[in-house]
Amino acid sequence: MKNSVSDRSFYIESSDDEDLEKEIDNEDGNESDSSGLSADNQNHNQPSSYNTAAWPQSYRQSIDMLGSVHSPSIGLLGTPSLARFGSSFLSSSLTRRFTPEAFSSSISKPLLPTVIDDPHKHAPPHSPLGPSLPSRRSSISVRRDDKDKPVVIDSHGLPISRHSTFGQAVVNGINVLCGVGILSTPYAMKEGGWMGLSILMIFAVLSFYTGILLRACLDSRPGLETYPDIGQAAFGAMGRVAISIVLYVELYASCIEYVILESDNLSSLFPRAHISFGGLEINAHLLFAIATALAVLPTVYLRDLSILSYISAGGVVASIVVVLCLFWVGLVDDVGFHGKVTPLNLSSLPVALGLYGFCYSGHAVFPNIYSSMGNQSQFPAVLLTCFGICTLMYAGVAVMGYLMFGESTLSQYTLNLPQDLVASKIAVWTTVVNPFTKYPFKVPTYALTISPVAMSLEEFIPPNHPKSHIYSILIRTGLVFSTLLVGLSVPFFGLMMSLIGSLLTMLVTLILPCVCYLSILRGKVTILQRALCCIVIAVGVVASAFGSFSALKKIVEELSS
């Protein structure tokens, strides 16, 4: 965001819910009506191991938490109802789900619940992806609420938002796209110049197009719901594993950025903070990096992170506050616009490629958002709205910040703001607190970012292992402190962002959607569509190569100096 994928049925606690099962079947598409498919379509790229052993099994539930798809009872602004689900969380996440037994069962439990049922009653229909194709029906059950109304429940016992509205999907999409990248757009403009801003617009258009391609891939065959599902449909089990690794590495790298972000901004607020211990001097940057890791460490042990989705709308508000503070400082506090205008900076333009690319790294969550929509035909309009709003914000901040600070613009414009101004303090503190109150794909709450990685690694723990809970704690602790070590070793926020944007985001956002689309729908792709995909792939490869090389070169230079 699914375990016994060979069993396509799902558990109904009450026999009266058969009508709801039929409704869900119709909503997901008539999967049983596949007898008319040709033999070529049935065997085309059929995965060899799309079953309970397929890794990762935990992707859907973890990315659903990350992307707010399962936020229960989302209102007008995507804010869930605390009154309805608060007590449920307190009784499950902090007690039952956190016991050693719960750790063990959660680790060994596949993503789809194992269903003991009459195999003849719910015989799995044949599909182009093979007999063990997962579907949304496989991971849900139906229960009744206090008013005796059926409620669809996922494998974690949480209500599934299967009918998110247009507005809710837009809020989730903006949460995904509008993250920490907005802090570095002025720096990207400094690195690339005024003309480099056109790269932002180009990436916005191409990213919107590849988002539509992901939707086409999901609609091509029944049961496809996530990015790894698309990879397996296109290239088999190895495709699923390869895409999953890329997505998890991007999440891990985002956690490194989180540590650097907190260290930079807190040290700007308290530059004289230090600790002397046995002749060892710990400066402000090192001190706050360690403090950040220690602060987030307890949160990564939570098994049920659904409570963090209750404050998702605060992330959008926080981003807007930071942007308004920049405009306030420039227009009201008389900081003014004194920056030198550089039309084009070819020497550092590749760094700007990665920075602008990082701004659109939300494609890993788009399939989950699409799967959660009640009216999926509105998905292109959702994407268009999200990309339009976020691009306007990115471009506005880039222009304003570059005009204010010119060639002295730092990797985070909050570090350039005069510290004696109230608006500056608000912006910096909002930036510090923001990762604790939002979870877009780039810098969400640390626990939500690292949990998908941890859950994927926990799948390798043998089922019913007596020390599974200990291994789980060690895995999560090791992930936290490894991000701390990497963040301290390479404490260059802008360059790390450029490297992530060039090396990983170009793959996830531009290259892989086109490659998967051409593979899955190879017999139905028109010449124009094939040409467009080739152009997007070429742009992604060139941007990735030049951006990665330039970012790595500058990182090495910084470390050597």
Domains of the chain by range and CATH? Answer: 162-262+306-439+493-559 (1.20.1740.10)
Taking Cα atoms as reference points, which of 153, 145, 93, 58 lies closest to residue 460? 58
Quick one: which of 4, 37, 233 has its CA closest to 137? 4
How many Å apart are CA 224 and CA 217, to the nearest integer? 8
Residue 139's φ and ψ, nearest 5 degrees, are: -110, 15
Sign of torsion over alpha carbons 376, 250, 252, 352: negative
Residue 435 pLDDT? 57
Tokens of 499: 């490297």
Under 8 Å between Cβ of 355 and 188: yes
Structure tokens at 508: 């996830």
Residue closest to 1 by CA, chosen among 399, 451, 432, 310: 451
Any residues with CB less than 8 A from the CB of 381 and at least 6 apart, and which?
A: 166
Residue with tokens 């959607």: 513
How far is Cα 225 from Cα 6, in angstroms, rounded to an integer? Answer: 16
CA 134 to CA 137: how far, in whole Å? 8
Nearest 5°: the CA angle 52, 136, 247 is: 65
What does DSSP say about strands 280-282 and 141-144: parallel, antiparallel, or unpaired?
A: unpaired
Q: For tokens 């990115």, name the residue.
A: 394
User: What global pTM score does this model have?
Assistant: 0.74
**Other beta carbons within 10 Å of 269:** 14
Which pLDDT tens digits describe the chain residue by residue (561 residues)?
Answer: 333 333 333 333 333 444 444 444 454 444 444 444 343 444 444 443 344 457 888 887 777 766 554 443 333 333 333 333 333 332 333 333 333 333 333 333 333 333 334 444 333 333 333 333 333 344 444 455 444 544 444 444 444 455 788 988 898 888 888 878 888 999 999 999 988 899 999 999 999 999 999 999 999 988 888 999 999 999 999 999 999 999 999 999 988 998 999 899 899 888 888 888 777 888 999 999 999 899 888 878 876 555 555 445 556 677 788 889 898 988 887 777 776 778 888 888 999 999 999 999 889 989 989 988 889 999 999 999 999 999 999 999 999 999 998 888 999 998 988 888 888 888 888 887 765 544 333 334 577 778 889 889 998 988 788 888 899 999 999 999 999 999 999 999 999 999 999 999 999 999 999 999 999 998 899 999 999 999 999 999 999 999 999 999 999 999 987
What is the per-residue pLDDT for 306? Answer: 55
Q: What is the pLDDT of residue 157?
A: 44
CA angle (333, 335, 337) in 5-degree steps? 130
- CA–CA dist 468, 58 (Å, integer): 16
CA atoms within 13 A on the CB side of 89: 19
Cis ω for the linkage preceding 56 (within 30 of 0): yes
What DSSP designation does 197 have? H
Which single residue is written with the structure tokens 């399939």? 367
